[in-house]
Amino acid sequence: MSFTTTVKNEICKIESKKIENITELSAIIRNIGIIDSDIKVQTENAAVARRIYTLLKDTFNISPKIVVRRGYNFNKNYIYIIIIDSKVDNIIENLELKNIVPKEYLYSDDDLIRAYFRGLFLSVGSINDPKKSRYHLEFMVSSKTYATFVSELLNKFDLNSKVLKRENRYMVYVKEAEKIGDFLRLIQAMNALFYFEDIRIYRDHKNMTNRLNNCEQANVDKIIDSANKQIKDIEKIESINALDLLDDKTKEAAIYRKKYPEVSLAELGEIISIETGNKITKSGLYHRFKKIKDMADRIKE
């Protein structure tokens, strides 16, 4: 079962008020309803079909017909078709289906907007499983005007949605994991939200660990590279037997670098301080190795 189906099945169980039912139905039928002398609504999700039937029955006191068919193109899934052939004009008027964008009374407060989002998701929404792929929430709608309306409605809750044209349709999408979690919270899909957040926290922690490991490895590589350059400078000086020309402290640094070729300057300073009893800082060692480099450069020239 896909994560989208899991979310839809969960929100199909939410109890709502009559005015919220109207708002939810408006979003559903606007997006997947075919209006003629009757209204047909088609879905492959049995829970969504039951939800639509129940909302219509409770809200308009009608009993729509339900037709079940096999999917096309060898699709093993069933297709559920809800047929409304009574009170059609009344339903069209109450659900504000004549206009591309519904009137504001259908989404005039936060509870109604949540209901509209539920209907929108049940009809044309999908969301990637965070365990298997990148974070992505989308709604595929038929017109640019309606897509802009949906995007603006989502962005009232700071979801950072965007609109993208896809052939002859428009996709409204959200990419940020935190914002997708906020959407699940808005439509009250709490079990799906807990699953999503658990995966998000795990992935964020894993990514942080990888970044820290990469950073640590980069630091180790940098330390080894720097130490190798210092050793080459020392060997250049030794090649002409000039190590004794260095002052005692600089010569001491050269000897200890060759003895401990893989430690950082700070660690080398600690080692020298402990073994000789003469405290030396990282900065002090840096200046000693600069003297060594200057002499090696002169030898090369």
Closest CA to 41 of 111, 112, 122, 143: 122
The pLDDT of residue 207 is above 80: no
Query: What pLDDT, on the 0 to 100 scale, is given for residue 243?
Result: 78
pTM confidence score: 0.69
For residue 203, being part of any structural domain is answered with: no
Could you give the percent of the chain with pLDDT greater than 70? 96
Shared-domain flag, residues 216 and 183 = no
Residues 44 and 157 occupy one common structural domain: yes
Which residue, of 156, 188, 220, is where some domain finishes?
A: 188
- Do 15 and 154 fall within a single domain? yes
State the pLDDT confidence band at 13, using cuts at 50, 70 and 90. very high
With respect to residue 201, please indicate whether it lies within any of the assigned structural domains: no
Residue 56 lies in a domain: yes
Q: Looking at residue 136, which CATH number applies to its domain?
A: 3.10.28.10
Residue 57 lies in a domain: yes
- Domain co-membership, 176 together with 237: no
Same domain, 167 and 258: no
CA-wise closest residue to 124 among 12, 30, 187: 30
Instruction: Give domain status of residue 65, yes or no.
Output: yes
DSSP state of 68: E
Task: Give pLDDT tens digits for 125-177.
Answer: 999 988 877 889 999 999 999 999 999 999 999 999 999 998 899 999 999 98
| 154 and 238 assigned to the same domain | no
Give residue 73's pLDDT.
Answer: 62
Could you tell me if 129 and 3 are in contact, meaning their C-beta atoms sit under 8 angstroms apart?
A: yes
- How does DSSP classify residue 71? P
Going by pLDDT thresholds of 50, 70 and 90, the confidence category of residue 83 is: very high
215 and 184 assigned to the same domain: no
Sign of CA dihedral 14, 183, 47, 53: positive
Determine the pLDDT at residue 148.
95
- Asked if residue 40 has pLDDT above 80, the reply is yes
Of 157, 188, 219, the residue at which a domain comes to its end is 188
* Domain boundary, last residue among 188, 218, 252: 188
Residues 165, 219, single domain; the answer is no
The fraction of the chain above a pLDDT of 90, given in percent, is 51
For residues 67 and 121, membership in a common domain is answered with yes
298 confidence band (pLDDT: 50, 70, 90): confident
How many folded domains does the chain comprise? 2
* Distance separating alpha carbons of residues 107 and 104, to the nearest angstrom: 5
Position 184 scores a pLDDT of 96
For residue 69, being part of any structural domain is answered with yes
Q: Does residue 193 lie in a domain region?
A: no
| Same domain membership, residue 174 and residue 226 | no
Checking DSSP bridges between strand 65-70 and strand 33-35, what pairing results, if any? unpaired
Please indicate, yes or no, whether residues 136 and 214 belong to a single structural domain of this protein: no
- Beta-carbon neighbour count of residue 191 at 10 Å? 13
The range of the structural domain enclosing residue 24 comes to 3-188
- What is the average per-residue pLDDT within 107-132? 93
19/140 same-domain check: yes
Tens of pLDDT, residue by residue over 101-110, are 999 999 999 9
Mean confidence (pLDDT) of the chain: 88
pLDDT score of 216 more than 70: no
In a domain, 276, yes or no: yes
- Lowest average pLDDT, out of 63-77, 145-159, 174-188, goes to 63-77
Counting beta carbons within 10 angstroms of the beta carbon of residue 158, is it exposed (0 to 12), middle (13 to 18) or buried (19 or more)?
exposed
